Amino acid sequence: MHMSEIYSDTIVAISTAMAPSGIGIVRVSGPDAIEIADRVYSNPKGKRLSDQKGYTIHYGNVCEKGEVIDETLAMLMRAPHSYTGEDTVEFDCHGGVLATKRVLEAIIHAGARPAEPGEFSRRAFLNGRIDLTQAEAVMDIISAKNDHALRSAQHQLKGSVSEKISVVRQKLLHETAHIEAALDDPEHMSLDGYVEEMHEVITEQKSALLRLLESADSGRFMTEGIKTVIVGKPNAGKSSLLNLLIGEEKAIVTDIAGTTRDILEEQINVKGITLRLLDTAGIRDASDVIEQIGVEKAKEQVKDADLVLYVVDGSVALDENDHEIMDLIHDRKSVVILNKNDLSTVITNEQLEEKTQAPVISMSAKQSLGLDELEEEIEKMFFHGGISFNDEVYITNVRHKTCIEEAIRSLGLVLQSMDDGMPEDFWSIDLMGACDALGKITGDTTSEDLVNEIFSSFCMGK
């Protein structure tokens, strides 16, 4: 579909943050973008943007009713060689909030419509400039919390995910077409002798999708961070550990047991990995009603944790509260921190390793000892000592993961139907189901409602 048949209007938005800054960018895109830009653009030598070539930059002023609003550099991009695939003009202005808003308002008065969130990227998708995975990667780059997430998003923006998905989908479409042709013309096409080959192809593609699915947890850890819950008895040093990790004294640290009553959450980077740290109330048999609520909240957080840091006071013997915590974390990824090693200890690393079956790090949160060992253990536990971005593709998007799971289920049904000797039209139905599920990832089979939902979460001006 030609872009003029998709959009007949021209949109404008501020594409930089609304805060004092060195520069503010106002982006105009659509069939009348250059004409509208000319209505507000004034060049010292009388040049008009409509007479200039694409990929050129021009100095001038943005004016309205003869009044100069701001100096500007107007960047001109002609269709289809722009982000949206449409004629586009970007005005680089001084970064004052008021000046940038005045430029925006002048362009609106000149005939452009205020853009909706994500509308520039939506136009890029509908005009075939990017697919859905690349559009989503744009927002992943903007919201990246660490280097791993940023590099993964950049990888995806280049088409790494869509390329992997498209290869699988094309092979499945080929098999579907072969079945449909055989069903439509059984006299001239037969599936005899082809079934084993088809079974092998479908099995290979299912395995390829399973390998992608296995990357989803690592992908989630990269983008969302590792939900890390700090647990232990009261006064074991949980808040001291939190403060050591974040480098600030945000949690209240006292000698009074049971000081923390609620969940405190912070985000930190460890070896380039984002940890979402949650400090919880000390777990013990509490008589105080408010403390009891805090203890129950702590137990709930452990159930959803990606990683549990179990802090043990090495100067105090283990008791029934410790055993309750050990039971609570026995099926979670955990690191045991034997804290207060600067004091005389009555518990050994070996005792804790035997009881918890988890790695034990000896630390003194108070004296900042053992932090490097803890960070190395977390990196090894989640990413086996590092992440390679040379060839690996990580699934970082929950929507993509759900679609891959749906495709794997459909392929499982195809293989089951083949093994059970079911008619070929049963195979075809489930094969098409797998193709449709994969098409939702790239946008080949995506409904308008889903497209609207995806782009509505984008930044204004992107």
Q: Note the pTM of the prediction, 2 decimals.
A: 0.67
If 0-12 CB within 10 Å is exposed, 13-18 middle and 19+ buried, where does residue 57 land?
Answer: exposed
Q: Is residue 461 part of a domain?
A: no
Which amino acid type is present at position 116? E
Segments in 384-423 forming alpha helices (H) = 398-419
The CATH number for 404's domain is 1.20.120.430
For residue 4, the model assigns a pLDDT of 40
For residue 293, the model assigns a pLDDT of 59
pLDDT in tens, 292-317: 655 667 677 778 888 888 888 877 77
For residue 280, the model assigns a pLDDT of 66
The total number of structural domains that make up the chain? 3
Which amino acid type is present at position 377? E
For residue 398, the model assigns a pLDDT of 81
Residues 173 and 234 in one domain: no
Domain that holds residue 351: 223-383
Domain boundary among 75, 97, 130: 130
For residue 108, the model assigns a pLDDT of 96
Residues 109 and 147 in one domain: no
Residues 112 and 253 in one domain: no
Residues 379 and 400 in one domain: no
For residue 262, the model assigns a pLDDT of 46
**Beta-carbon neighbour count of residue 348 at 10 Å?**
13
Residues of the chain with pLDDT under 70: 1-7, 143-149, 151, 186-191, 218, 221, 248-265, 280-296, 298, 340-344, 365, 367, 383-392
Q: Is residue 249 part of a domain?
A: yes
Residues 230 and 325 in one domain: yes
Token pair belonging to 274: 């984002």
For residue 383, the model assigns a pLDDT of 66
Token pair belonging to 17: 């943050």
DSSP labels, 216-285: HHHHHHHHH-EEEEEEESTTSSHHHHHHHHHTS--S---SSTT---S-EEEEEEETTEEEEEEE-PPPS-
Residues 40 and 115 in one domain: yes
Q: CA-CA distance, 429 to 408, in Å (whole number)?
A: 14
